[in-house]
Chains A and B, each alone.
Chain A
Amino acid sequence: MRKEVNRSSVFTRRALLIGGAQTLLLGGLAARLRQVQVEEGARYTTMAEDNRITARMTAPRRGRILDRFGKVLAGSLVNWRALLVMEQAVNVRRTLDNFASIVPLTETERTRIERDMRNGKSYIPILIKEYLSRDAMTKIEVNAPDLPGIVVDGGTSRTYHHPYELAHILGYVAPPSENDMTGDPLMALPGVKIGRAGIEKFHDLALRGRPGVVHLEVNAVGRVIRELDRADGVNGDDIGLAFDFGLQQVIQKRLGDEAASAVVLDCRNGEIMAMVSNPSYDPSLFMTGVSQAQWREWTKDRRTPLINKATSGLYAPGSTFKMAVALAGLDAKTIGYHDRISCPGHFDLGGSRFHCHSRSGHGGVDLKNALKYSCDVYFYQVALRTGIDRISAMSHRLGLGTELDIDIPGQRVGQVPTKDWRAGKGLPWQLGDTVVSGIGQGPIVNTPLQLATYAARIASGRAVQPHFTRRIAGVVQPGSQPEDWPDLGVPEQMLQAVRGGMFAVVNEGGTAPKARLGGQVQMAGKTGSSQVRRVSRKQRESGTFDSKNLPWEYRPHALFVAYAPYDKPRYALSVVVEHGNAGGATAGPIARDIMLEVLKRDPAGKPDSETAQIADAKS
């Protein structure tokens, strides 16, 4: 008998099978849903919050930079800006065109705006134009109905009250580049600027402050639904410099047209009283745009106004280096305090003859007279006895050819080489190199800042580091007291011997009688001139050689380092006049005038100010 198949039971079986399969499939979906909602829930919650919440920031006021007496050097002014919120504009292009017919936009500005429009979100305001005049503001407000999406706001902008005198010290602020766009949410604010050089860069984080944040709930097209919470920003800290702006101004004026630099330190704690690099430039032009002609003028000027000569100009120290050689010799006991060396006007080593600047020679000279008359032969011999490595070590200890803890970026280190340095270049160190290093020539180069530090360390016997910063947010920083600095580690007797030589240079008929202060207070100093071009034998023997007849750029640099008062050192300075010929004749009188002004003002002796004074009336 054939198997009887019941259609009904086939249906029942198969319907139950299908129904079961469907239930399993739904169960599978439920399991997947559990995975999405429970196991991966946290991840998706974060994503939903990212979708929903937009942080809008309010800009903090950038901290001010003050001088020692609370004078505002860099402050903030209200900067009227026109911003565009794209989602509020009916037709972005028409709004822009209407705007341009009221306040002209340059081609560069238009390109930047278009770029920002492409990159930005529709609800984040885009900067259209800043530094608007009152007149332009009025026009925009009157025409507001034709300018949907345009918002006017009074942001703060940086103002420098004395841009020319302070360009190299304060630096400037500029919009952040792509590389700066990391971390700090402040960078996303329209028109935000960060420090790019000088104090502005060094203390940028303290000056920036923290932006206020408003958390807004936005919908999918970015429209604000409501404010969730808000946190007020914190304004940037004020930075108080040890610096005396009045002194800076006087020095700048005194340097006149020379390509020169001068640094004045409080030699007890390394605070910088003034730092002038002449000529300077007006950095405020960078904010509004530098014309091509102006830029060409700056870059073509052989006096290099854009370079801070005080921290990045490198000069052979010339005879100002002789204190370092003397101290190295005393320290190594290769020369005694009163040992005499005979100077016949030249020194022979192997087949070479090294000349003294005095053709007839100084006769027998001891340490004091060697410094006083700047006898080259004495120091040729001391250098040869002591060796370059010991001279180099002493120089570094005194602040020459070594990195200083200066609180503005961009310093150059220069060098006082060692034998290894030359060996590293594949050339053996020659004894002749040691001889010329005795008078600060050869491969030795230093900055004026290092020279001033060198003078300050000799004067105070402390390993002070030059620095501008005295207060941050009103709080005096470590380093303002002499006790904050370690002892130099050079015996006082040695230093005193060298100081005596420096005293004689100025006050006892040495090489710089013109630097004599001429009052109760006495200054100790040392002249130097560094050749930029080797003097040939023929020139020397012709007897008519005078560097004053050379073209400007071949003349030697004139240098002077000094401190005062001699008996109770307070201020140290260095003056470098590029191509100024003789240190005693050119740099000495400048150093004297500066020191007289410093002593008259005595900035370090007066109480400083914790808070800002009202900026002078004209700014």
Chain B
Amino acid sequence: MNERRLWRESSHDLTGKIFRINWLFVLLLCALASVGYTALYSAAGGSPDPYATRHIVRFAVGLLLMLCIALIDIRFIARLSWLAYAGGVVLLILVLRVGHVGKGAQRWIDIGGQQIQPSELMKLALILALAAWFHRASWEKIGNPLFLLPAIVAVLVPVALILKEPNLGTAMITMMLGGALFFAAGVRWWKFVLVLLPVPFAARYAYHHLHDYQRARIDTFMNPESDPLGAGYNIIQSKIALGSGGFWGKGYLQGTQGHLDFLPEKQTDFIFTMIGEEFGLVGAVSVMTLLGLIIWSALAIGLRCKHQFGRLVAFGIACNFFFYCFVNIAMVMGVIPVGGVPLPLVSHGGSAMITMMVSFGVLMSVQVHRDVEFEGTDNER
């Protein structure tokens, strides 16, 4: 008992905190960023410019940011949760008013010269807010539908705003993220069944109210060859690139689809395709394994955490990361409709990298502060 106290004491001094950072996880992130550097070097036709160098610089900045956040007390972060949520909603409203239009949707906003997508920040804020909401709730309380109602509203407000941008893909991911957190928090099974039952009917209704470009995406996804030079071009070229990579790949810097520009947006959304083309199934599966390791490491941080807030935050961040990876890879393989989702820490693009590293900073803070005394921490143990 005494020993444990000592240990807890040490968690409050700086060196102790640094010692408790999960350096293996940091190593995994560095590995993933290196994969990004390698792929972006190739995407630029064998040059560090214009993508690879900037990518690694951004990662370094993100890493620093992550380590700083890791040292912030998780209880402080928990207290800021609803503030972050409110900020996120304000930004989402702002983006609808003054945001940049890209590909028929308002998604981007300038903050201090840096373009960011508020919807990305919103997902982190939502994770924090829901974690804070469920943190103190007992099993019985979670069973009470009236207790769940404010949380449901908290999910639906940003989802509605993101839908209005319109960004169907991110809205659905946000929705599923909320659902995953509800599930992990202990909401009863039958409630999920009740909610999921009418989904097919809702989807049918929604299809008729989608924007033309969204419907075109779904139609093209169902039958990409129907429009080989139009909307289906991306999917077809991506599949050709992957398929022609074969088992061992065409060799580094030897991918013809990417280097001859048949592959669209190869430095962003289709970076995984480049890897698959040049390094083959071996390379692609290796990258997927690395992604799986990162997801499980994040889940493990949650499992080891002593307080519900930290558990839910870690779980939410792991899920968010998984959604990014899954949607991106499934998209470039033509398994789900193209959605403009980057592959985290690999795709070129500052906004996604920074938001992802901030999330990992919070995750690391959970790791560092996994056994702090927390108001409402489990008494059951």
A residues contacting B by CB (< 8 A) are 4-8, 10-12, 14-16, 18-19, 22-23, 25-26, 29-30, 32-34, 36-38, 40-41, 43-45, 47-49, 51-52, 217-221, 225
Contacts and interface: CB of A to CB of B under 8 A. Distances in A.
Interface in B284-341: 284-285, 288, 291-292, 295-296, 299, 302-303, 308, 311-312, 315, 318-319, 322, 325-326, 329-330, 333, 335
B261 A33 contact: no
B291 A220 contact: no
Q: Which of A7, A41, A43: most chain B CB closer than 10 A? A: A7
Contacts of A48: 240-241, 243-244, 256-257, 262
The 6 lowest CB-CB distance pairs between A and B, nearest first, are A44-B243, A48-B244, A220-B261, A219-B260, A5-B139, A45-B244
18 contacts: A7-B378, A8-B308, A11-B184, A18-B319, A19-B296, A22-B319, A22-B322, A26-B292, A33-B333, A38-B247, A44-B239, A47-B240, A48-B241, A48-B257, A51-B260, A219-B261, A220-B260, A225-B260
Given A22-B295, A41-B246, 10 more contacts: A7-B186, A11-B186, A14-B184, A18-B315, A18-B319, A23-B295, A33-B284, A47-B243, A47-B244, A219-B261
A45 B246 CA distance: 8
Contacts of B246: 37-38, 41, 45
B212 interface: no
Contacts of A38: 246-247, 281
B184 A26 contact: no
Contact of A37 (B183, B242, B303, B325): B242
B303 A12 contact: yes
Given A8-B380, A15-B299, A41-B244, A52 B184 contact: no
B272 to A, nearest CB: 10
B257 A7 contact: no
B53 interface: no
B275 to A, nearest CB: 11
B36 interface: no
B276 A7 contact: no
B260 A37 contact: no
Contacts of A218: 260
A405 B325 CA distance: 73
B380 A4 contact: yes
A40 B236 CA distance: 13
Contacts of B281: 33-34, 37-38
Contacts of A11: 184-186, 302-303, 308, 311-312, 315
A11 B257 CA distance: 45
B294 to A, nearest CB: 11
A30 B139 contact: no
Given A14-B183, A45-B243, A36 B260 contact: no
Given A36-B333, A51-B262, A18 B280 contact: no
Interface in B248-279: 256-257, 259-262, 276
Given A14-B186, A51-B262, A29 B243 contact: no
Contacts of B242: 33, 36-37, 44
A41 B326 contact: no
Interface string B327-357: 0011001010000000000000000000000
Nearest to B242: A36
B10 interface: no
Contact of A26 (B237, B259, B326): B326
A29 B256 contact: no
A15 B243 contact: no
Nearest to A52: B256
Contacts of B335: 29, 32
Nearest to A225: B260
Contact of B243 (A16, A19, A40, A217): A40
B111 to A, nearest CB: 32
A6 B380 contact: yes
A557 B150 CA distance: 110
A540 B174 CA distance: 110
A6 B247 CA distance: 47
Contacts, number: 148
A12 B315 CA distance: 10
A26 B326 CA distance: 7
A25 B180 CA distance: 15
B20 to A, nearest CB: 20
A368 to B, nearest CB: 81
Q: Which of B245, B296, B311, B330: most chain A CB closer than 10 A? A: B245
Contacts of A8: 308, 311, 378, 380-381
B276 A33 contact: yes
Nearest to B308: A7
A29 B329 contact: yes
B226 interface: no
B183 A32 contact: no
Contacts of B329: 26, 29
A448 to B, nearest CB: 58
B261 to A, nearest CB: 4
A5 B288 CA distance: 36
B197 to A, nearest CB: 19
B279 to A, nearest CB: 10
B285 A22 contact: no
Contacts of A219: 259-262
A548 B333 CA distance: 89
Nearest to B292: A26
A6 B183 CA distance: 15
Contact of B139 (A7, A14, A29): A7
Q: Which of A8, A12, A36: most chain B CB closer than 10 A? A: A36
Contacts of B245: 37, 41
A15 B139 contact: no
A16 B311 CA distance: 12
Nearest to A53: B256
Contacts of B47: none
A7 B326 contact: no
B138 interface: yes
A220 B262 contact: yes
A52 B329 CA distance: 24
Contacts of A220: 260-262
Interface in B191-240: 237, 239-240
Nearest to A22: B322
A37 B276 contact: yes
A225 B308 CA distance: 59
A36 B280 CA distance: 11
Contact of B257 (A5, A18, A51, A217): A51
Contacts of A33: 242, 276, 281, 284-285, 288, 333
Contacts of B291: 26
B363 to A, nearest CB: 14
A19 B239 contact: no
Contacts of A44: 239-244
Contacts of A6: 378, 380
Q: Which of A15, A16, A32, A220: most chain B CB closer than 10 A? A: A15
A36 B138 CA distance: 48
B380 A7 contact: yes
A18 B326 contact: no
A18 B315 CA distance: 9
A217 B262 CA distance: 12
Contacts of B260: 51-52, 217-220, 225
Interface string B163-194: 00000000000000000100111100000000
Contacts of A18: 180, 183-184, 299, 315, 319
A11 B285 CA distance: 29
A6 B186 CA distance: 10
Q: Which of B260, B291, B326: most chain A CB closer than 10 A? A: B260
Contacts of A25: 326
Contacts of B256: 48, 51-52, 217
Contacts of B247: 37-38, 41
Contacts of B244: 41, 44-45, 47-49
Given A4-B380, A15-B303, A51 B184 contact: no
